[in-house]
Amino acid sequence: MSTACPICGGRGRPRFRLPAAGTELGVDADAFRPSSERFGAVSGTVQRCERCRHGWVADPPEPEDVSGAYADAADPVSLREEAGQMETARRALLAVEEVVTPGRMVDVGCWTGSFLAAARQRGWDPVGLEPSKWAADRAAERGLDVRVAELGDDGLEAGSCRLVVLCDVLEHLIDPRAALDRSATLLEPGGALFLTVPDAGSVLARLLGRRWWSVLPMHLQYFTRRSLGQLLTDSGFTVRSVRTHAKVFTARYYAERLGGYSDPAGRAAVRVAEAVRLADRLVAPDLRDRLAVIATRPR
């Protein structure tokens, strides 16, 4: 078990221990779908750094088990929520385009391709990487260029991209530093990186502890503003902006997520949203427990 912080090398102490029950440690396709509601479940003991407060799974699952879970993951709820995903991407691109103009971009872990579709509408030349065949097939149905691959097995040329997108990706990786190194290689001089992660240092995350909805079997890293900033700097990036990140979903989706705490509460929340005819309205509550970062590669 690794007790040295993978970001700063500080000493770690156990934060969330692996439950005694279960032999697969939560590493399966159902646990790794985006709308998973296994709040509070972990795939290994989570350590937290005494120095930068970064958290990480110190005894992670085998890489082939993780890759297999992602390859088999499917989530029909994603199809229903694509309008909100498109709006989330549009808002992100508005911020990105304050730093770089449209050009070639790659979205790593693009899922069903909503970010790609929004980027294409704004004049970008997008390509996606996605390990889930189910999600990649949906993206292909939308006429998008998506490769069933992971970062590092992407076949892209060095310096070929103006933008690399890592939305909800770094927290899933055993080695996030390697992902940033590869991203830097793909970027042209002055190119930009856009990434989002849950903020484990947020007030909400600290208040909820293990019951925070971003404590999930698929998450192997728990970033704070400090640890993410240090990782980016160490990887040669210049951080241009750090903002909170509100995702756009239907009110129904957010109501359903309460089922991760209590099935009756989730069902009741959906009924209320339907009764007041707000269930299908797009909403974007900013709970200030997510980070969106834009960083650039030196020219």
The 10s digit of each residue's pLDDT in 156-169 is 999 999 999 999 99
Q: Give per-residue pLDDT as tens, 112-154.
A: 999 999 999 999 999 999 999 999 999 999 999 999 999 988 9
Among the residue ranges 21-35, 244-258, 272-286, the one predicted with the least confidence is 21-35
Determine what percent of the chain is predicted with pLDDT higher than 70: 97
The per-residue pLDDT for 31 is 84
Spatial distance between the Cα atoms of 160 and 152, rounded to a whole number of angstroms: 14
Tokens matching residue 5: 């912080």
Query: What is the pLDDT at residue 24?
Result: 47
pLDDT for the residue 287: 96
Q: What is the CATH number of domain 72-198+217-248+284-296?
A: 3.40.50.150
Q: Is the per-residue pLDDT at 182 higher than 90? A: yes
Residue 12 has pLDDT above 70, yes or no: yes
Q: How many CB atoms lie within 10 A of CB 121?
A: 12
Over residues 186-208, the mean pLDDT reads 97
- The residue whose two tokens read 């929520």 is 81
pLDDT band, very low/low/confident/very high, at 27 (cuts 50, 70, 90): confident
Question: Helical H runs in the chain?
Answer: 63-72, 77-80, 82-96, 114-121, 133-141, 176-186, 203-208, 225-234, 251-257, 263-275
SS3 210: helix
203, 26, 51, 199: CA torsion to nearest 10: -30
> For residue 35, how many other CB atoms are within 10 A of its CB?
15
| Average pLDDT in the chain | 94
Domain ranges for the chain, please list them.
Answer: 72-198+217-248+284-296
| pLDDT at position 1 | 65
- Residue 20's pLDDT band, with cuts at 50, 70 and 90, is low
Cβ proximity of 12 and 49 under 8 Å: yes
Within its chain, how far is the Cα of 203 from the centroid? 19
How far apart, in Å, are the Cα atoms of 40 and each of 17, 59, 183? 10, 17, 30
Question: Amino acid identity of 295?
Answer: A
* Entry pTM: 0.95
> What pLDDT shows up at residue 19?
64
Locus of tokens 């991203």: 183
pLDDT at 23 over 70: no
**pLDDT for position 25:** 54
Paired sense of beta strands 161-167 and 146-147, if any: unpaired
Q: Are 245 and 196 in contact (CB under 8 A)?
A: yes
